Amino acid sequence: MSRLIGEPLPRVDAPLKVTGRATYAAEHRLPDLAHAVIISAAVGKGRILEIDSRRALGEPGVLAVISHLNTARLPYRPHKGWIDPTVGERLHVLQDDFVRHWGQPVAVVVAETLEQAEHASHLVGIRYEAEAPSFTVPDGESIEPQGGYPANYSRGDADQALATAEHRVDCTYLIPRENHNPIEPHATIAQWDGQRLTVWDKTQFPTNVAEELAAVFGLERANVHLICPFVGGAFGTSLRTWPHTTLAALAARHVGRPVKLVLTRKQMYFGTGYRPETWQRVRLGAHSTGELTALKHEGIAETSRYEHYIEGLLNAPRFMYSCPHVTTSYRLVPQDVHTPTYMRAPGAASGMFALECAMDELAHELRIDPVELRLRNEPKIDESRNVPFSSRSLVQCLRTGAERIRWHRRRAEPGALREGHWLVGLGVASATYHTLRNTASARVRLRPDGTAVIETAAADMGPGTYTSLTQIACDELGLPPEKVQVVIGDSNLPRVPPHGGSQTLSSVGSAVLAACLAARSARQERAHSGAIAGSEIVATETSQPGDATKRYSMHAFGAVFAEVMVDVDLGIVRLAHMVGVYAAGRIVNPRLAHSQAIGGMVGGVGMALLEETHIDRRDGRITNANLAEYLVPTNADIPVFDAVFLDEHDPHVNPLGVKGIGELSYVGVAAAIANAVFNATGKRIRDLPITLEKLL
């Protein structure tokens, strides 16, 4: 039978999705279900003086108004999942009268119907003693982040090298806060049976939700069951377990019935994390021939006062280009906000925007073509660790992309290409994202009827986990796709890492591969021993990375080319074309990979041109917490994109040779567009998004 890995198999779950039979968190039906609505704090900082529930409780159907005044203190045992900040403590909900950020849940109304709960929530009278919250990025008191990524890195002497450099650029870049806007909102249904808790919750990390709820409520882990077979987009917002999940369980226990709690689009801007606002200063020194002599990259990001959210903002600058003198420093400014979180290509999307714009500024200063400048700084090894790359195909990505966008049309002088009242510009940026792999387990059941079931606590928020795991299993077991069933999204299944950081296929795929191999040899043994094939063969395997991560630097690379048109009079920016060329190891499914890449590129367009969460700095209110005013790209904003995957063989990253695509395809897009806008207009916009006001 021909192999399925590498084939554009259509999504195996597509029929369920297009016929509406795929059940998302809020869609599970339970008898006697009550509905909960969160009341969000209407001050940005302060104390709750009074909660008057009398009117609300008098309304038809209302079952309870739950707040710190009438709930027991929850155990909130220490628990930190893979995705929780190492420093600080998660928000404890309804445990005291403190308001730490605008929109913090301060009460929950439970009623027979959603409409009754919603109506009653407006009748609860809450009085606050308000204080002025402070928002001080980048100038406020900053701290050195602890744990995870190093706050400071240096090799050589960047300051000295900058002082003596033939050419220098020194630029500061601002990226506003951005919010994830998946189509499916966060939702939880919670049901108690004595000390046992079952939750249907939207998550990218099923086992972690069960562990977190066990810790919050002081339950045995085995007594909490999380079910989440489908996720309607997430981009990182469903990695951590947020307060609303606890609130749903709390409300269900309070009223003694199963409870459903769905966040409104507005509430999704308050309680569930976001990409932090960042300030970055990049200084580059170079010879007139283009070789970098110095790189100094500083970054400052917002975090909450109760947790230090850190991300790999300044990881790429350390290994991206060859440079003898490099310093990076990363700082956090705690302010009166809720904790930021991972949002697609966390760290890399922001950090590479600054680095790749600075490279373009240097190219302009040196009068060297921006593609050529990157080629001249291609390193032979990862100079930050003195180890080789497991594979690195950036040069091929740049060359292929330049050809496909017809880069030769580009004029070095900004504003030189014009079509009618449109200025035309071309821009390029490199992309990279580290190849993650973590310990994962999977179980394979070979049934007597010749079918197989693959079980693992993974999730599928859109990349096609169901399908890619099916392909891997089919190839190993020698079965057609219709004989293999993949079961995921359940905390009782074998444990895997979070469905984020583009590591699902590298981690879970490797575990599925191992379990299939084990099942196959068990089947052979059984055949040899002449035993009657009457019962199921079950094989569970755990797969973990070896020491290759110590010997090699593992990253996926790409190059993004953007062609923009800017209206001479109005400053409107239109994308004419974009080419993304990616080298991400083996491509298990080109159809899914293409879809992932296009999605990432569209997300990057949002970052470049549209997305910005507005905070009213007087009181912390988010003024555009809706899809009418928080702009994301729509079909009309997006031309046909060209997403290309180079053939890349990497024997070191994991047994499948895959590197991950989801994050990679987001990186570099904003810089490529900003660089194209400069090429079109001569205007260098260093604060995102690039709006027409900034261009006029």
Residues carrying an active site annotation = 663
DSSP class of 238: T
> Which residue is nearest to ligand MOS, using beta carbons?
236
Name which of 39 and 345 has its Cβ closer to ligand MOS: 345
3-state secondary structure 532-553: CCCCCEEEEEEECCCCHHHHCE
AA identity, residue 632? V
Question: What are the φ/ψ torsions at residue 223 (nearest 5 degrees)?
Answer: -95, 5
List 501, 558, 603, 689, residue binding ligand MOS (CB under 6 A): 501
Is 413 buried (19+), middle (13-18) or exposed (0-12) by CB count in 10 A?
exposed
Question: What span, in angstroms and rounded, lies between the C-alpha atoms of 696 and 680?
Answer: 13
Region from 42-50, 228-236, 361-369, 374-382 binding ligand MOS, contact rule CB under 6 A: 228-236
Region from 220-228, 343-351, 508-516, 569-577 binding ligand MOS, contact rule CB under 6 A: 343-351
Name which of 34 and 316 has its Cβ closer to ligand MOS: 316
Residue 141 half-sphere exposure toward CB, CA atoms < 13 A: 4
List 346, 351, 425, 657, residue binding ligand MOS (CB under 6 A): 346
Question: What span, in angstroms and rounded, lies between the C-alpha atoms of 422 and 56?
Answer: 58
* Closest distance to ligand MOS from the beta carbon of 226 (Å): 17
* Closest distance to ligand MOS from the beta carbon of 156 (Å): 32
- Residue 110 as a binder of ligand MOS (CB under 6 A): the answer is no
Which residues in the 313-342 window bind ligand MOS by CB under 6 A?
Answer: 342
- Chain Cα centroid distance, residue 95: 30
Question: What span, in angstroms and rounded, lies between the C-alpha atoms of 87 and 92?
Answer: 15
List 44, 236, 276, 463, residue binding ligand MOS (CB under 6 A): 236
* Closest distance to ligand MOS from the beta carbon of 81 (Å): 13
* Closest distance to ligand MOS from the beta carbon of 302 (Å): 17
Name which of 208 and 329 has its Cβ closer to ligand MOS: 208
- Residue 239 as a binder of ligand MOS (CB under 6 A): the answer is yes
* Closest distance to ligand MOS from the beta carbon of 345 (Å): 7
Helix, strand, coil percent values for the chain (each to nearest 5):
30, 25, 45
Q: What is the DSSP annotation of 562-588?
A: EEEEEETTT--EEEEEEEEEEE-B--S
Question: What span, in angstroms and rounded, lies between the C-alpha atoms of 390 and 551?
Answer: 9
List 344, 376, 434, 437, residue binding ligand MOS (CB under 6 A): 344
Q: Are 490 and 536 in contact (CB under 8 A)?
A: no
Name which of 425 and 500 has its Cβ closer to ligand MOS: 500
* Closest distance to ligand MOS from the beta carbon of 598 (Å): 17
Q: Are 488 and 466 in contact (CB under 8 A)?
A: yes
Q: What is the DSSP annotation of 325-342?
A: EEEEEEEEEEESSPPP--
* Closest distance to ligand MOS from the beta carbon of 622 (Å): 20
Residue with tokens 């951005």: 178
Name which of 205 and 407 has its Cβ closer to ligand MOS: 205
Name which of 298 and 663 has its Cβ closer to ligand MOS: 663
Question: What span, in angstroms and rounded, lies between the C-alpha atoms of 243 and 42?
Answer: 17
Strand partners, 190: 199, 259
Name which of 295 and 469 has its Cβ closer to ligand MOS: 469
Question: What span, in angstroms and rounded, lies between the C-alpha atoms of 81 and 77?
Answer: 13
* Closest distance to ligand MOS from the beta carbon of 45 (Å): 28
Strand partners, 537: 446
List 214, 219, 228, 343, residue binding ligand MOS (CB under 6 A): 343
Name which of 46 and 299 has its Cβ closer to ligand MOS: 299
Q: Are 473 and 453 in contact (CB under 8 A)?
A: no
Q: Are 194 and 217 in contact (CB under 8 A)?
A: no
Three-class secondary structure of residue 672 per DSSP: helix
Number of residues that bind ligand MOS (CB under 6 A): 12
* Closest distance to ligand MOS from the beta carbon of 511 (Å): 18
Name which of 204 and 468 has its Cβ closer to ligand MOS: 204
Question: What span, in angstroms and rounded, lies between the C-alpha atoms of 604 and 675?
Answer: 14
Which residues in the 674-693 window bind ligand MOS by CB under 6 A?
Answer: none
Q: Are 602 and 181 in contact (CB under 8 A)?
A: no
List 24, 135, 235, 582, residue binding ligand MOS (CB under 6 A): 235
Name which of 67 and 245 has its Cβ closer to ligand MOS: 245
Three-class secondary structure of residue 261 per DSSP: strand
Strand partners, 334: 303
Is the sign of the CA dihedral 641, 647, 648, 651 positive or negative? positive
Q: Are 301 and 85 in contact (CB under 8 A)?
A: no
* Closest distance to ligand MOS from the beta carbon of 238 (Å): 8
Question: What span, in angstroms and rounded, lies between the C-alpha atoms of 316 and 553?
Answer: 12
- Chain Cα centroid distance, residue 684: 28
* Closest distance to ligand MOS from the beta carbon of 79 (Å): 20
Region from 66-74, 164-172, 231-239, 562-570 binding ligand MOS, contact rule CB under 6 A: 231-239
Binding mask 630-669 toward ligand MOS (x if CB under 6 A, else -) reads: ---------------------------------x------
Q: Are 654 and 578 in contact (CB under 8 A)?
A: no
Question: What span, in angstroms and rounded, lies between the C-alpha atoms of 559 and 549?
Answer: 24
* Closest distance to ligand MOS from the beta carbon of 206 (Å): 14
Name which of 321 and 557 has its Cβ closer to ligand MOS: 557
* Closest distance to ligand MOS from the beta carbon of 214 (Å): 23
Binding mask 65-104 toward ligand MOS (x if CB under 6 A, else -) reads: ----------------------------------------
Binding mask 252-291 toward ligand MOS (x if CB under 6 A, else -) reads: ----------------------------------------
- Chain Cα centroid distance, residue 109: 31
- Residue 552 as a binder of ligand MOS (CB under 6 A): the answer is no
Q: Are 41 and 103 in contact (CB under 8 A)?
A: yes
Strand partners, 538: 445
Strand order in the sheet with 641-645: 418-419, 422-434, 555-567, 573-583, 641-645
Residue with tokens 């302010």: 335
Question: What span, in angstroms and rounded, lies between the C-alpha atoms of 318 and 322?
Answer: 9
Which residues in the 187-226 window bind ligand MOS by CB under 6 A?
Answer: 204
Q: Which residues bind ligand MOS (CB under 6 A)?
A: 204, 234-236, 239, 342-344, 346, 500-501, 663
